[in-house]
Chain A
Amino acid sequence: MRVDGRHLALLAASAAALLWAVPFAWMAVASLRPGVPPDIASLTPAGPFSLGNFALAWTSGDFPLWYLNTIVMCGGILAVQLATVSMAGYAFARLSFPGLDLIFSAFLLQLLLIPPLLIVPNLATLVSLHLYDSLLGVMAPYFASAFGVFLMRQTFRAIPRDFEEAAMLDGASIPVLIRHVLLPLARPGLVAFSIVSVTAHWNEFLWPLMALSSPSHQVLTVGLASFASGAEAGSAWGVVAAGTFLVAAPLLILFLVFQRRFVSSFIFSGIK
């Protein structure tokens, strides 16, 4: 029975992986096919193939600048978030202060708000802070993350108090405790949150479109749309696929390179 169950799970996982991989495979295939071939939906076309679409996509916009801006934006958001979510997560997990539950509920409520609702108020705030049309302005609303705080709170709570008590006996202050005891133990949580944060902001379209205007501040998603979207005419799928590939490539490469470390980090946390 046990073997059957494992086979079944493997089968289900493979099916899910296949389902997940098909769009990527299609994107890769389509990006290599010039023009608008009649069998554009095919995953196994006969050809011809060329890199022309990539050249066309690359020259359709300022990709180096878009990469740079996107990396600065995602990196900046993540750097600040890691500090804020670990501190707030610690406060909600370990400290007790008046109004704790109320404030935590307010944090969770924030998760229920759909972001487009906040576009106009956020823009007005940016204008009054003189941050409209700046990368810092795009990042600012994300410096605190309700999801991150919740995740870190749960992660901290899962760590046995013995570690902290031992450190406190040795005279560690709270900042030292967080920095040298809790954060290393909470690494799996931080890694998981980082992946979620970077992918979310890397792929975000609407907010950068609203908050940025100058072409010199443009990010990848908006740049891609500037030549790949078009409701009134049809689409040159090859160029769209090539452009999408260029946008997604850094995250794909990053994941492939760090795959072992991500996975081992999760396994480590499981064994601990």
Chain B
Amino acid sequence: MTEITRRTALGAAIAIPAAAVIARSALAADPIEIDLFFPVPVQGMLANKMKELIDRFNAEQGAIKATAVYTGSYDDTNLKTRAAIKAGKPPAAVIMSANFVREYVINGDVDPFDPILEKDGKTPTEFFDQFWPALKANAMIDGKVYGIPYQNSTPLMYYAVDAFKDAGLDPDKPPETWAEWIDAAKKLTKPTGERWGINFPATYDYCGWLTSAFVMQNGGQYYNRDYGGEVYYNAPSTLGALTMLDTLVNKAKVMPPGVSDANTCTSAFFAGRLGMMLLSTGSLSFVRDNMKSPYKVAFLPKSVRNAAPIGGASLILPKGNTPERQAAAWTLISWLTSPETAGEWSRFTGYFAPRKAAYDLPEMQKFLAEHPDAKIALDQLKYAVPWFDTFNTVAVRKAMEDQVQAILSGKVAPADAVAAAQKSADELLRPYVEQTALKVIG
């Protein structure tokens, strides 16, 4: 923002209107071109909406011409960004899955926002106080700001009101603890798959996300959020969480065996064949648009405590850009994460707006009043916890996911699963650990 305001101020200071006109046309003639990589993790017209936002940004000022580049899923976007940086064509800014930011820092592929923030007269902590606190761990790494949260979500429990009534449950009193949850699921489950009590996506990524939720609800840490070389897969809190999953599928039989994806869950939910599902708050718009019978949402059930891990994406500055391009990228990032724009994006997508001030705007207050489900998703943020990120995040995450999927398919006992997951995670983390925590000094 500094760049334009300074130039506009300069233009305004010149008294002769003609001079201002010349200054402005000179600006318009030679705008700096920047590109923004963006993924589309939820289905719908998001790509169109992003284009609309960027067109508006370009129309509102003449110094920067931004282009929104669709880059596939979060994983595709990661791949393309890495390849582009290696090939010497880094994009000016990327909307990057928040749990990948740490790896970019470890690999030295991103620049911190700190120098830019200092120019604006803010310390990193002051700057970050404008966002929901749980977002900090995935964006502020080793004391520096590497990500500006843009679109964020947590898991949420969706439940069908008709199914609750049919099972003799009170739709106004959703289960709050694991015990109540399993009890409700038992009542909701009808034999031969006519209706299941619980389901949630256990495909890669979703599986790790929800597993971390269960472990943290069970009092655990799951991974070392300050150091990318440690995970706590073989811990009592993890074993307890996985035993609970084993119970759901293999003992109480209230959840379909095997691995479901998000589509399976929503299709069954819409068709009345599923009582409760755990799904991202990013799916709120999709569920709202497609669920014909009444549904409600609630906090994730707790064991020792409530916990809902953050998901979603942050804006990052890939290394290798000129200072001019970085300044332009910062102008775009500031605009995208302003309360107004962030609020608009949140209302359109279903993600929550990471910036707290977005919720002070009248449009947002009106939206929350009209959509109580979005309000509950927001209230759950007081229990939000950071998102799993380590060295080699995806592989280390999969080490646990493979075991959880095996449990859901009834192929492994929880005690063996946690041991196996820990063993393969340790192998994957070893190269980093040996260079850092276990480095021999002297």
Chain A residues within 8 Å of B, Cβ to Cβ: 35-36, 38-40, 60-61, 119-120, 123-124, 126-127, 132-133, 205-206, 209-210, 213-215, 218, 222, 225-237, 240
Contact = CB atoms under 8 A, between A and B. Distances in A.
B73 A229 contact: yes
10 contacts: A36-B266, A36-B290, A38-B270, A38-B272, A124-B86, A213-B91, A229-B73, A232-B153, A233-B350, A237-B263
Contacts, number: 134
B271 interface: yes
A232 B311 contact: yes
B262 A227 contact: no
Contacts of A132: 87, 89
B47 A226 contact: yes
B139 to A, nearest CB: 19
A120 B82 CA distance: 9
Given A233-B286, A235-B43, A236-B43, A120 B262 contact: no
B106 interface: no
Contacts of B43: 227-230, 233-236, 240
B45 A60 contact: yes
A215 B67 CA distance: 8
A216 to B, nearest CB: 9
B272 A126 contact: no
A227 B311 CA distance: 20
Which residue among A39, A60, A233 has the maximum number of chain B CB atoms within 10 Å of its CB? A233
B153 A236 contact: no
B70 A222 contact: yes
Interface stretch (B34-42, B178-186, B191-199, B393-401): B34-42
Contacts of A126: 87
Given A38-B273, A229-B43, A236-B290, 13 more contacts: A38-B272, A120-B82, A210-B83, A213-B67, A215-B70, A227-B44, A229-B40, A231-B73, A231-B74, A231-B206, A233-B286, A234-B283, A237-B263
Interface residues on B, range: 35 or more
B68 A215 contact: yes
B61 interface: no
B175 interface: no
Contacts of B41: 230-232
Contacts of B350: 233
A119 B86 CA distance: 10
B262 A231 contact: yes
B120 interface: no
- Closest 7 pairs between A and B when the two form their complex, measured CB to CB: A230-B43, A234-B266, A38-B271, A123-B87, A233-B283, A226-B47, A233-B286
A242 B280 CA distance: 26
A205 B70 CA distance: 13
Contacts of A240: 43
Contacts of B48: 60-61, 227
Interface string B331-352: 0000000000000000000100
B68 A231 contact: no
A218 B47 CA distance: 13
B282 A233 contact: yes
B382 to A, nearest CB: 22
Contacts of B263: 234-235, 237
Contact of A234 (B69, B89, B203, B262): B262
A230 B42 contact: yes
B280 A233 contact: yes
Nearest to B47: A226
Given A120-B86, A210-B79, A226-B70, A233 B266 contact: yes
Given A38-B272, A215-B51, A209 B87 contact: no
Interface in B285-314: 285-287, 290, 311
B200 to A, nearest CB: 12
B84 interface: yes
Contacts of A127: 87-89
Contact of A120 (B83, B273, B280, B282): B83
A123 B91 CA distance: 14
Contacts of A213: 35, 37, 67, 69, 91
Contact of B42 (A61, A123, A214, A232): A232
A237 B43 CA distance: 10
Given A36-B266, A209-B76, A231 B205 contact: yes
Contacts of B87: 120, 123-124, 126-127, 132
A120 B85 CA distance: 9
Contacts of A36: 266-267, 270, 290
